[in-house]
Amino acid sequence: MFLYPEPLAALVESMRKLPGIGPKTAQRLALYILHAPAAEAEGIASSILAAREKIFLCSVCGNFTDVEPCALCQDLGRDSSLVCVVESPRDIIAFERTRDFSGLYHVLHGLLSPIDGIGPSDLKIAELLQRVQSGDVKEVVLALNPNVEGGATSIYLAQLLRPLGLKVTRIAHGLPVGGDLEFADTATLSRSFLGRQPL
Ligand SMILES: [Zn+2]
């Protein structure tokens, strides 16, 4: 039985660790990297290292950034009384595409999921509470995916935020249940945001 030489086997194994990559694709990617001009392969490797070195989480909103605070948090043209809570930095990209949201964001980096052992302390919830109490935030829009975890997390957050005297809203339904916000088309996401309702 033929086995790849060790460095190639290690590369295939590394590719397999990427999300959505099965054994066949991992092999194809590894062979592509070997066939590619050296400069291209080096470019891929060095961009991975550079991203890991230079990108960190904004201390205010939790978004990926290379400056502190991030460009969105620094933007004085945005409405700092409105904070949109999202699960992941990918959701920020989706909302920014709609151009209908001019507030700030807060990234939880996950959703509550007792079955997976993910509790409030695993998410950026303490940071959110601290943030809304110290700034001029008036409304918190919960823009979490319409699945079980998203629903449970929204209710949990609303219970914590309402006693602070904040208006708490949730983006309107109309998104596919269990669907990912990042895959919703811009018009749907826009409608969902503009039709947000108190929670
Ligand atoms: Zn930020």
- Report pLDDT digits (tens) over 71-106: 999 999 999 999 999 999 999 998 898 888 899 999
d(CA 189, CA 199): 18
CA of 45 to the centre of ligand 1 (A): 27
Give me ligand 1 centre to Cα 29, in Å: 34
- Report the separation in Å between the CA atom of 84 and the middle of ligand 1, taken as the mean of its atom positions: 12
Q: What pLDDT is stored for residue 2 in this prediction?
A: 77
In whole angstroms, how large is the CA radius of gyration of the chain?
20
User: Would you say 55 and 114 are in contact if contact means Cβ atoms under 8 Å apart?
Assistant: no
How far is the centre of ligand 1, averaged over its atoms, from the C-alpha of 60 (Å)?
Answer: 5
**What's the gap in Å between 32 CA and the centre of ligand 1?**
37
pLDDT in tens, 53-71: 999 999 999 999 999 999 9
Ligand 1 centroid to Cα of residue 86, in Å, is 13
User: 57 C-alpha vs ligand 1 centroid, how far in Å?
Assistant: 8
Written as six digits, the tokens of 89 are 């930095």
Separation CA 88–CA 16 (nearest Å): 23
Across 75-86, b (16+ Cβ under 10 Å) vs e yields: eeeeeeebbbbb
pLDDT at residue 177, as a whole number: 53
Residues in contact with 156: Cβ distance below 8 Å, sequence separation at least 6, in sequence order: 112, 120
Structure tokens at 144: 């979490």
Which amino acid type is present at position 175?
L
Say how many Å lie between the CA of residue 134 and the centre of ligand 1.
15
Question: How much distance in Å is there from the Cα of 20 to the middle of ligand 1?
Answer: 28
Distance (angstroms) between ligand 1 centre and the Cα of 159 equals: 24
* Residues 115/104, Cβ–Cβ less than 8 Å: no
Which residues of the chain fall short of a pLDDT of 70? 1, 173-179, 182
Residue-level pLDDT at 99: 83
In angstroms, what is the span from residue 71 Cα to ligand 1's centroid? 7
Q: What is the pLDDT of residue 9?
A: 95
Residue 111 Cα to ligand 1 middle (Å) = 19
Give the per-residue pLDDT at 111.
96
User: Residue-wise over 38-57: b if at least 16 C-beta within 10 A, else e?
Assistant: eeeeeeeeeeeeeeeeeeeb
